[in-house]
Amino acid sequence: MDTKKILIALLLFTTMFSFSQGKDLPKDFLPSKFHKERRALLRSKMPNNSVAVFFANPSRNRANDVDYLYHQDPNFYYLTGSREPNAVLLIFSEKQQSAKGLYNELFYVEKKTARAEVVSGPGIGIDGAQKLLGFKNVFYGKDFATISVDFSKFDKVIFEDFKNDVRDDKRTDADLYDLILTFKTKISYQTSSDKIPASDKNIKLATNIDVTAVKGLMATLREVKTKEELVLLKKAVRISAMGQVEIMKAMHPKMSETEVQGIHEFVYKKYGAEYEGYPSIVGAGNNGCILHYQENNKMSLKNDLVLMDLGAEYRGYTADVTRTIPANGKFSKEQKLIYDLVYEAQEAGIAQYIIEGKISTPGLTARKIINEGLYKLGIIKSVDEKHPYFPHGTSHHIGLDVHDPGNYTTFAEDMVLTMEPGIYIPEGSKCDKKWWGIGVRIEDDILITKNGPIILSADAPRKSDEIEKMMQQKSIFETYTLPDLDKK
């Protein structure tokens, strides 16, 4: 590129980013008050004389100089509201004294270079972290190296252990890699696979490091949703259910798995959801028997059952909804028998999503019903037979993570968990081959309330006859045609 072209490209970038940073942005992200209250609650649960340290998620390289779309670490987002990398948060159980006064949290954010601002837009900076996120004590990352906090004086230094998969961006000395290295040096952290710099090798290993507590503390906070979180989570779930409804109307045997995925994701984006909460799963026939199938590249659905496990992420909160439908609009006899059995297991399980009930109970109930059903259909030889046809659990929390943290003991009000039984009979299974290639999962997102379970994903039909009825409805996609690019 010559200089003129570079200048034009820069101008274009700058113009684009001044627009993207404008006022017309979503207004329903969680407010800074929410994150502040969550930090206060965490503080109240931390051991005396402790400090908890949280790092932002790293950027991940996709190929060459292109990174994957950035996604914040959910714990970090929950506590800060920040959606930027290269940041670290310190929360102290008690107030600390500095020359400037008392503080109980410190937040270090990225100072973007002028070049980085041109490429990826302005960062939030100290000003933004104070005004938009509501932090008082905010600094730039490079100041973390000269932090006056003496970590050795705390009874506990709490953080999640490092996975050693953060790249060093050599153009800066305050990226996530550097922040972590600084922290490791300060706390004398050392494992056989993870050395502090050679110059600091004489430092004794710290004894106050606790890499297990974060998990339990954050699970306790995050497993029960606040009212603000429920608004966003319900929206994510309803959007995902609407995606299922539109595909029920549009599906036909000549459609590809890719197109099915595209229609779902189009519906999410139309509702303003920012991403998928996890890679979309659209598996026809035998592909539906692969639990986390992601290729979604079969060219035609034919007359198979199509398993679609899809969740929109809305303002950070993700749904997790699965429907399994016949590509031609009508369940075959075998498909219906398996489908209705999974439905029966799901219904019985959902009825047990009640306050103080054990979270493990619905799964056991579903398994019993499925085993009895498989036996009656002659697919297994006895109800106690160990078999491969239902190889997963049924109930996990959803929230900022599709598999949200929790203690997994008993149900409590305002928890949201999936109920997702399934039966998968891949080709070659040890049963009559009329069952081969049938994979069914039905997954709904259930809110626990004082008045019993509420199915948040109820907009998408679940009963086999209701699905067939929905599939007869007209679709806007029937008339949405594009030019054939392969025609000579």
Nearer to Mn ion, 85 or 277 (CB): 277
Q: Judge whether 110 counts as a catalytic residue.
A: no
User: Per rule CB under 5 A, is residue 445 in the interface with Mn ion?
Assistant: no
Q: Judge whether 443 counts as a catalytic residue.
A: yes
**Counting Cβ atoms within 10 Å, is residue 153 exposed (0-12), middle (13-18) or buried (19+)?**
exposed
Q: Exactly one of 62, 115, 167, 292 is catalytic; which is it?
A: 292
Q: What is the DSSP string of 233-247?
A: HHHHHHHHHHHHHHH
Q: Judge whether 445 counts as a catalytic residue.
A: no
Q: Judge whether 462 counts as a catalytic residue.
A: no
User: Per rule CB under 5 A, is residue 320 in the interface with Mn ion?
Assistant: yes
Q: Work out what residue 278 binds among ligand GLY, Mn ion, none; the CB cut-off runs from 5 to 8 Å by kind.
A: ligand GLY
Q: Work out what residue 276 binds among ligand GLY, Mn ion, none; the CB cut-off runs from 5 to 8 Å by kind.
A: none
Q: Exactly one of 304, 404, 420, 444 is catalytic; which is it?
A: 420
304: nearest Cα among 290, 280, 283 = 283
Q: Which residues pair with 439 in a beta bridge?
A: 424
Nearer to ligand GLY, 190 or 418 (CB): 418
What minimum distance in Å lies between the beta carbon of 443 and ligand GLY? 6
Asked if 204 contacts 152 with a C-beta cutoff of 8 angstroms, the reply is no
Q: Which residue is nearest to ligand GLY (CB)?
A: 309
Nearer to ligand GLY, 53 or 370 (CB): 370
What minimum distance in Å lies between the beta carbon of 402 and ligand GLY? 6
Q: Judge whether 392 counts as a catalytic residue.
A: yes
Query: What is the side-by-side strand order in the sheet with 281-284?
Result: 281-284, 305-310, 321-326
User: Per rule CB under 5 A, is residue 229 in the interface with Mn ion?
Assistant: no
Phi, then psi, of 317 in degrees rounded to 5: -100, 135
Q: Judge whether 420 counts as a catalytic residue.
A: yes
- How far apart (Å, rounded) are the C-alpha atoms in residues 283 and 286? 7
- How far apart (Å, rounded) are the C-alpha atoms in residues 129 and 86? 13
Distance (Å) of CA 111 to CA 173, 182, 244: 11, 17, 42
**DSSP strand pairing (438-441 vs 321-326):** unpaired
Q: Judge whether 292 counts as a catalytic residue.
A: yes
Nearer to Mn ion, 209 or 247 (CB): 247
Q: Judge whether 320 counts as a catalytic residue.
A: yes
Binding mask 457-486 for Mn ion (x = CB under 5 A): ------------------------------
Q: Exactly one of 443, 444, 445, 462 is catalytic; which is it?
A: 443
Nearer to ligand GLY, 103 or 275 (CB): 275
Which residue is listed with tokens 């329903």?
A: 28
Binding residues for ligand GLY (CB under 6 A): 278, 309, 320, 402, 420, 443
Stretch that binds Mn ion, among 24-32, 197-205, 443-451, 465-473 (CB under 5 A): 443-451
What minimum distance in Å lies between the beta carbon of 305 and ligand GLY? 17
Binding mask 394-433 for Mn ion (x = CB under 5 A): ------------------------x-x-------------
Stretch that binds Mn ion, among 40-48, 103-111, 255-263, 312-320 (CB under 5 A): 312-320
Q: Judge whether 252 counts as a catalytic residue.
A: no
Asked if 399 contacts 317 with a C-beta cutoff of 8 angstroms, the reply is yes
| Close Cβ partners of 13 (under 8 Å, ≥ 6 residues apart) | 118, 119
The region, left, alpha or beta by phi > 0 then psi within -120 to 50, assigned to residue 318 is: beta
Which residue is listed with tokens 């996990």?
A: 396
* Footprint (CB under 5 A) of Mn ion, residues 38-57: none
Distance of CA 25 to the CA centre of its chain: 22
Nearer to Mn ion, 112 or 397 (CB): 397
- How far apart (Å, rounded) are the C-alpha atoms in residues 183 and 187? 6
Q: What is the DSSP string of 288-337?
A: GGSTT------S--TT-EEEEEE-EEETTEE--EEEEEETTSS--HHHHH
Nearer to ligand GLY, 38 or 264 (CB): 264
- How far apart (Å, rounded) are the C-alpha atoms in residues 11 and 19? 12
What minimum distance in Å lies between the beta carbon of 340 and ligand GLY? 21
In the complex, which residues of this chain contact Mn ion (CB under 5 A)?
Answer: 309, 320, 418, 420, 443
Residues serving a catalytic function are: 65, 292, 309, 320, 392, 396, 403, 420, 424, 441, 443
